[in-house]
Amino acid sequence: MKPFEYKFSEKLDEILDILSKFGPEAKILAGGTDLLIELRRKPAKFPKAIVDISYVKELDGIYENDNHIILKPLSTHTQIYKSNVLRRKAYLLSEAASQIGSLQIRNRGTVGGNIMNAAACADTVPPLIALNAEITLQSINDARILPLNDFFIKPYKTKANPDEVLTEIKFSALPENAKSVFIKLGRRNALSISRLSVAAVLQQDDSGKILDARLVPGAALPTWRRVTEAEEILIGEKPSMELFRAAGAKVSEVMISYTGRRWSTEYKEPVISALVRRALEKCVMT
Ligand SMILES: Cc1cc2nc3c(=O)[nH]c(=O)nc-3n(C[C@H](O)[C@H](O)[C@H](O)COP(=O)(O)OP(=O)(O)OC[C@H]3O[C@@H](n4cnc5c(N)ncnc54)[C@H](O)[C@@H]3O)c2cc1C
């Protein structure tokens, strides 16, 4: 291990100041469940400074404001799935958080780290994109707000600069009659990284017709996005098996249009389609 400086502060402006001085030579540490593993695997990449943000209280907490939810980046997966506000107003996100890693990982890992690490299998990202979340990135002289679906370049690569801290995640609460689910398929039941996942939101009007539909597959496309091509099939229709099957098939088709046919397509094509169908069925049945 190369020698490095360990920096921390309870104040965000001091953290931003440290980051501005070290630039790309610094690495932010939140829960450390991704970063420490990465540094152990690639010791040559050890930064000059590790900047621990975990003591900054203003970066922690879950708040509701005027029908908007504000999620601070240090919120752990345990805090997220135990939050009553999120359970009522963004159920798919608490469901995703409850399925992450193990109890220890959920107690330590943060939503900010999950987003910023940008692994294709990051479980909080598909729900947050389905919630049309926006994020705030702050540096010493500037703050910018980006839609989350415009933040990722490719797996492990985002539009954030090295001196920027993710300080806030914001989205509108789901309407009371909207149903939402997150389904994840892993290699095993416990401590499993997503092979494929789906975040879905479905809202019906009084006659039963679908008013709003949002579908975001995880670990399927090069970066996450709502599959509007499949959502459009659903809007204005009444739920049925054929309809949900058609939406699932469309998500598969869109996935293959990006990835082409490769060795894993034989598995992923029917599976993502079935996951979408199952997610939509679950929305209607709960
Ligand atoms: C055994 C195991 C099982 C796991 N299972 C899952 C799983 O099922 N699903 C899943 O999605 N993930 C899983 N993970 C991955 C990991 O736990 C999560 O991604 C976690 O949310 C990362 O958060 P963290 O606070 O630990 O991030 P850290 O490791 O502290 O940081 C991760 C990255 O984000 C950057 N960063 C962190 N916070 C900020 C911020 N506020 N602003 C700017 N940059 C920031 C860091 O510099 C680093 O590059 C697992 C990990 C392990 C070790």
What CATH number corresponds to the domain at position 225? 3.30.390.50
Query: How many independent structural domains does the chain possess?
Result: 3
- Distance between CA atoms of residues 47 and 65, nearest Å: 38
The residue type of 271 is V
End of a domain among 143, 172, 201?
Answer: 172
Predicted pLDDT at 264 = 86
Nearest CA to ligand 1 atom 4: 101
Same domain, 184 and 165: no
pTM over 0.85: yes
Same domain, 29 and 112: no
Nearest CA to ligand 1 atom 15: 34
Same domain, 72 and 114: yes
Predicted pLDDT at 2 = 78
End of a domain among 147, 172, 197?
Answer: 172
Same domain, 29 and 93: no
Same domain, 140 and 237: no
Nearest CA to ligand 1 atom 7: 100
Same domain, 154 and 234: no
Predicted pLDDT at 184 = 93
End of a domain among 157, 172, 187?
Answer: 172
Same domain, 154 and 201: no
Q: Tell me, using a 6 A CB cutoff, whether residue 117 lines ligand 1.
A: yes
C-alpha 164 – ligand 1 centre gap (Å): 17
| CATH code of the domain containing 83 | 3.30.465.10
Same domain, 280 and 196: yes
Same domain, 256 and 160: no
Same domain, 79 and 152: yes
Same domain, 61 and 167: yes
114, 137, 195, best to mutate for ligand 1 pocket (most atoms within 8 Å of CB): 114
Q: Tell me, using a 6 A CB cutoff, whether residue 252 lines ligand 1.
A: no
- Distance between CA atoms of residues 237 and 235, nearest Å: 6
Predicted pLDDT at 188 = 54
Predicted pLDDT at 111 = 98
Q: What is the pLDDT of residues 271-283, one digit of tens each?
A: 999 999 999 999 9
99, 103, 117, 158, best to mutate for ligand 1 pocket (most atoms within 8 Å of CB): 117
Helix 265-285 and helix 241-259, axial crossing angle in degrees, nearest 10: 140
Provide the domain limits for residue 62. 57-172
Q: Tell me, using a 6 A CB cutoff, whether residue 218 lines ligand 1.
A: no
Same domain, 201 and 266: yes
C-alpha 124 – ligand 1 centre gap (Å): 11
C-alpha 150 – ligand 1 centre gap (Å): 20
Q: Tell me, using a 6 A CB cutoff, whether residue 127 lines ligand 1.
A: no
Q: Tell me, using a 6 A CB cutoff, whether residue 231 lines ligand 1.
A: no
Q: For the chain, which residues score pLDDT lower than 50?
A: none
